[in-house]
């Protein structure tokens, strides 16, 4: 018997109809189902195991069904990636760049997962460690990006090192370190390049640098990137996928590197550039 977990976006009224239907489909196909706390609000369909999202991997599912937008997927990915759980993401949001499965494709996609016909993509995950006086304050994982910014509207000074070699000294609003998956998110809006998802690289994009010579930088995927916070602001903020994070202070060092584990996405057969055309109007005049 396969095991599946359902992870949902809060405050989506249509889920009151969708989730019971999904549970009936899973039951009919011999799949044991559990849910996160957000999904349980729409009805459990009987006695189901319910988990906090950060601990849902304890159910040891064979796959996860994410019902929501890209933000829901980002949250689910951080919880499930260490356990190597494949994720099927169905778009109930607005843009849905990562959650490319449409609602009307839900049943077809579930059938493909059950039959083993749904391809799996491994996406790189970014590991971010916040060090203060050489002590590890916190470690996070990001599917899209990690962003360090000042918490007040003023420039912040910091230095950037790649493999312990000084690359730049920045005076800017902040800096984005993005995976290839995240290259089409905040980094793109800040002027960074588009990377295909399987490019073995990281993108470093300064946010509004106070010079014309500082441009986005692409480094190898196995590089270690370090940002050292200098003068210009007493406090800053490290943001992970725009959802979680921590305060940073003068002298803090933030180290970024590719994580050992990946995010496994169950995908349709849409090509990457088809998604760019549909979601970002790529190449249109």
Task: Report the distance separating Cα 161 and Cα 163, nearest Å.
Answer: 6
Residue recorded with tokens 């997962």: 113
User: Which residues does residue 32 pair with via DSSP β-bridges, in sequence order?
Assistant: 3
What is the CA angle 180-182-185, rounded to 5? Answer: 135
The answer to whether 14 touches 22, Cβ cutoff 8 Å, is no
Q: Where do we find the tokens 């349980």?
A: 40
Chain center to CA of 244:
11
User: Look-up: residue for tokens 């912040």?
Assistant: 156
The residue among 155, 273, 266, 258 whose CA lies nearest residue 209 is 155
Annotated catalytic residue within 27, 36, 62, 70: 70
Q: Which of 129, 116, 81 is nearest to 262 (CA)?
A: 81
What is the side-by-side strand order in the sheet with 145-150?
Answer: 217-220, 201-207, 174-178, 145-150, 235-240, 244-249
Q: How many CB atoms lie within 10 A of CB 212?
A: 6
234 is catalytic: no
Active site members = 70
């Amino acid at each position: 018997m396969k095991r599946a977990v359902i992870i949902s976006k809060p405050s989506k009224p249509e889920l009151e109809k969708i989730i019971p239907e999904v549970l009936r489909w899973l039951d009919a196909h011999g799949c044991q189902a559990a849910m996160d706390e957000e999904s349980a609000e729409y009805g459990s369909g009987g006695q189901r195991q319910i988990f906090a999202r950060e601990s849902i991997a304890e159910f040891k599912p064979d796959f996860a069904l994410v019902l929501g937008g890209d933000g829901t997927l980002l949250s689910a990915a951080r919880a499930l990636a260490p356990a190597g759980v494949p994720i099927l993401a169905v778009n109930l949001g607005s843009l849905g760049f990562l959650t490319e499965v449409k609602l009307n494709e839900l049943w077809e996609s579930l059938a493909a997962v059950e039959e083993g016909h749904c391809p799996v993509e491994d996406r790189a995950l970014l590991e971010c460690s916040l060090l203060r006086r050489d002590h590890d304050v916190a470690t996070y994982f990001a599917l899209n990006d990690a962003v360090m910014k000042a918490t007040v509207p003023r420039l912040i000074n910091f230095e950037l090192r790649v493999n312990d070699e000084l690359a730049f000294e920045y005076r800017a609003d902040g800096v984005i370190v993005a995976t290839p998956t995240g290259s089409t998110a905040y980094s793109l809006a800040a002027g960074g390049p588009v990377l295909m998802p399987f490019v073995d690289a990281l993108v470093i994009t300064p946010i509004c640098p106070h010079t014309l010579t500082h441009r986005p930088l692409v480094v190898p995927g196995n590089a270690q990137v370090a940002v050292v916070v200098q003068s210009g602001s007493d406090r800053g903020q490290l943001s992970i996928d725009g959802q979680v994070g921590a305060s940073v202070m003068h002298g803090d060092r933030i180290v970024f590197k590719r994580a050992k584990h990946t995010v496994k996405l169950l995908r349709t057969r849409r090509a990457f550039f088809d998604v760019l055309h549909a979601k970002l109007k790529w190449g249109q005049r």
